[in-house]
Chains A and B, each alone.
Chain A
Amino acid sequence: MALVTRSRRIDCRGQWLSLLLAWTLINGLLNGPLTAAALTEYEVKAGFLYHFGWFVEWPGTTDQGRAPAFTIGVLGTHPFGSALDDIMRGKSIGERPVVIQYYQRVEEAVSSHILFISASEEKWLPAILSELGEANVLTVSDMERFTERGGMIALRLAGQKVRFDINMDAAERAGLKLSSQLLRLARVIHGPRPLRE
């Protein structure tokens, strides 16, 4: 697997490249000077959240005449600050403009396309996942053992790079189709069903 060979090759260049990539994603068309210090871990993660939208297919959405907004939700105490709003401003996935929603209750988050579950919600994770059930929501989190516990995409740090694991079974249960390109970049696990209380 790619992740195995990737190992711990972390040098100045690698860091620099990752920062550069994030900068590219954030600034888009802006032609500002490169400032390596500008990208924080959560700025990179915010970019990832946005780009997951490109490589995942949600059921039923293609048939709708008028595309609703593409909703990226954040549940709990989010660590992004203003980064998420800054990145998503004016962006769209396909034809749909990206909208950021901050939720405190999981019931509200059922209609979002992507849901970032903050580490603050770790205690209630089984309940949250159970609440979402088989709703077409791509769950993302950077909490420990997220995929093992039924989450779909777990963000983690490999050295100073952000990497992710994917629970294929969970995604399939939610009716989501993940692009093979995305799967190639991820550590894919076939996790257990979400625990029911």
Chain B
Amino acid sequence: MPTFRNLSIHWKLLWVKMLASGTTLLLICAAFVFYDRVTFREVMVRQLAGQADIIAVNSAAALLFDDPSSAAETLAALRVEQRIIAAGIYRTAGQRFATYERQASPGTRMLPAEFGTATSGYRFEPEQLVLFRPIVGGGETLGTVYILADLHEIQQRLSRYLGIASLVGLVSFVLALWISSRLQRRIAGPLVHLAQTARGVSAEKNYALRVPINSQDEVGLLGEAFNDMLTQIQWRDTALQQANDELEQRVIERTAQLEAANRELEAFSYSISHDLRAPLRAINGFARILLEEHAPDLSEEAQEYCHLMRDNAQHMGQLIDDLLAFSRLSRQPLSKQPVVPAELVQQALHDLRAMQEERHIDWRIGALPPCQADPVLLKQVLVNLLSNALKFTSQRQVAVIEVGCREAEGEHVYFVKDNGVGFNMAYADKLFGVFQRLHRAEEYEGTGVGLAIVQRIVHRHGGRIWAEAVVNQGATFFFTLGGETEHA
């Protein structure tokens, strides 16, 4: 059942009207009924008292001359009065003298056999009025007239009133419905329209809708305010949309510019790397020809310079190769798959067998749990780290190189540990930069790209890399591969 709160304003107005008019009607009816009841009783008592008095006067002689049948005839005159159901004449001592009953019944049950000393008065009983008047003659009280009247008439009047009231109520309900449907257009109509517009606006996000304003009352003001609000929202919405569009356009433009610049840069570096190789090859080639075919013509010193020229040209070629590999790394797509790191370690050691010749190396390969990674790139990481370890332990009588994994904070941390020259931890942050070297090239060969490549691969996997070292005691490189917990 819908509560009053949720009713439409149209029905609310109707209810208010009905309640007001209904209450008024009810109160008026109640007042009328009350008034009528009171006056009706008064009038009834007065009329019956008058009739009783007439009976009293006309029955005095019958009482005095002891003639009950004459008194009964006098009482029988009450037949014209519908309300009187019984009447009686009593002597002063209380004995019944004569009786009358509208509907003859055996005995006289309605009238008391004796009537007390009270000679004038009346009382209302639930359905009857009892009235008694004295019979006076010659200055003496001779007896009492006793009348029993029916009060059904009051009930009839009451039900008639109720009937009229409910009829009027029905008519006023219909009238109120009719008036309300007329007034709805004036009062509830604009409100309903406003509500519909508001719902439309919020449902369709259509801020171009407007409420028609027909009046200057509160509803009209509400409508105007609503329209103003819609205008502002619409204006802001448009501005916001424009700003958004502009921003998007700018982002697209910038992205395109950046992509173009990036492409240019890559093409540039690639072509440069490529183009640089040709002159290098030429320098290297001609230096070799000089050494091979014109060695007799050259002095010892000139031959030495030619060797230096070739070495540097080759070194530069190596640098360019590494640079190209590094830049290729960022363009290559990453293909993650389940790998067994232990196998990759073996492959890396096989690749690095040249560096192990004539070396005394104590390999300590621990358990390496399987993981999710790009096998080619992970092997590259291992090759770089292991070659570093081999390189920086070259001075040791016995090189100890450990490969392992340990569990820390829910992730697998792989490490490669050596007992090489180590490095100063103060420069730890420079380790992974391109072309960054902590040792002189004369001591340890290399281009300084290796660790940069390792870091890039680890980062592309979503992992971390760091190192710990003590000078002349060794270094340890740790790395994690992101998403390892999935395979833990």
Question: Is A81 positioned at the interface, with any CB of B under 8 Å from its CB?
Answer: no
Contact at B69–A2, with CB atoms within 8 Å? yes
Chain B residue numbers with a CB within 8 Å of A66 are none
Question: Is B392 positioned at the interface, with any CB of A under 8 Å from its CB?
Answer: no
Q: Return the contact of B64 from the options A2, A28, A51, A184 (Cβ within 8 A).
A: A51
| Separation of A161 and B65 alpha carbons in the complex (Å) | 10
Contact at B70–A21, with CB atoms within 8 Å? no
- CB-nearest residue of chain B relative to A182? B61
| Separation of A167 and B385 alpha carbons in the complex (Å) | 167
Chain B residue numbers with a CB within 8 Å of A25 are 64
Chain B residue numbers with a CB within 8 Å of A61 are none
Contact at A185–B67, with CB atoms within 8 Å? yes
Chain B residue numbers with a CB within 8 Å of A21 are 63-64, 66, 91
- CB-nearest residue of chain A relative to B97? A17
Q: How far is the CB of A14 from chain B (nearest CB, A)?
A: 8
Q: A17-B97, A24-B92, A54-B137 are in contact. Are A181 and B58 (CB under 8 A)?
A: yes
Contact at A55–B61, with CB atoms within 8 Å? yes
Contact at A185–B65, with CB atoms within 8 Å? yes
Chain A residue numbers with a CB within 8 Å of B93 are 20, 24
| Separation of A141 and B470 alpha carbons in the complex (Å) | 172
Chain A residue numbers with a CB within 8 Å of B73 are 2, 184
Counting contact residues on chain B (CB < 8 A from A), the size range is 20 to 34
Interface size on A, residues (CB 8 A): 25
Q: Return the contact of A48 from the options B62, B65, B68, B91 (Cβ within 8 A).
A: B65
| Separation of A131 and B73 alpha carbons in the complex (Å) | 39
Q: How far is the CB of A154 from chain B (nearest CB, A)?
A: 14
Question: Is B333 positioned at the interface, with any CB of A under 8 Å from its CB?
Answer: no
Interface residues of A in 25-54 (CB under 8 A from B): 25, 28, 47-48, 51, 54
- Which of A17, A20, A25, A181 has the most chain B CB within a 10 Å cutoff? A181
Interface residues of B in 55-80 (CB under 8 A from A): 58, 60-70, 73
Question: Is B95 positioned at the interface, with any CB of A under 8 Å from its CB?
Answer: yes
Question: Is A105 positioned at the interface, with any CB of B under 8 Å from its CB?
Answer: no
| Separation of A18 and B69 alpha carbons in the complex (Å) | 13
| Separation of A44 and B77 alpha carbons in the complex (Å) | 29
Q: Return the contact of A181 from the options B60, B66, B97 (Cβ within 8 A).
A: B60
Interface residues of B in 26-85 (CB under 8 A from A): 58, 60-70, 73
Question: Is A179 positioned at the interface, with any CB of B under 8 Å from its CB?
Answer: yes
Q: Return the contact of A28 from the options B63, B69, B140 (Cβ within 8 A).
A: B140
Q: A17-B95, A20-B95, A28-B140 are in contact. Are A5 and B61 (CB under 8 A)?
A: no
Contact at A17–B68, with CB atoms within 8 Å? yes
Interface residues of B in 94-123 (CB under 8 A from A): 95, 97
- CB-nearest residue of chain A relative to B57? A181
Contact at B137–A6, with CB atoms within 8 Å? no
In the complex, per-residue mask of A67-83: 1 if CB is within 8 Å of any chain B CB, else 0: 00000000000000000
Q: Return the contact of A5 from the options B64, B66, B69, B140 (Cβ within 8 A).
A: B69
Pick 29 A–B contacts, CB within 8 A, sort by A.
Answer: A2-B70, A2-B73, A5-B69, A17-B66, A17-B68, A17-B97, A20-B91, A20-B93, A20-B95, A21-B63, A24-B93, A25-B64, A28-B140, A48-B65, A51-B61, A54-B61, A54-B64, A55-B61, A93-B138, A161-B66, A164-B65, A181-B58, A181-B61, A181-B62, A182-B61, A182-B65, A184-B70, A184-B73, A185-B67
Interface residues of B, Cβ cutoff 8 Å to A: 58, 60-70, 73, 91-93, 95, 97, 137-138, 140
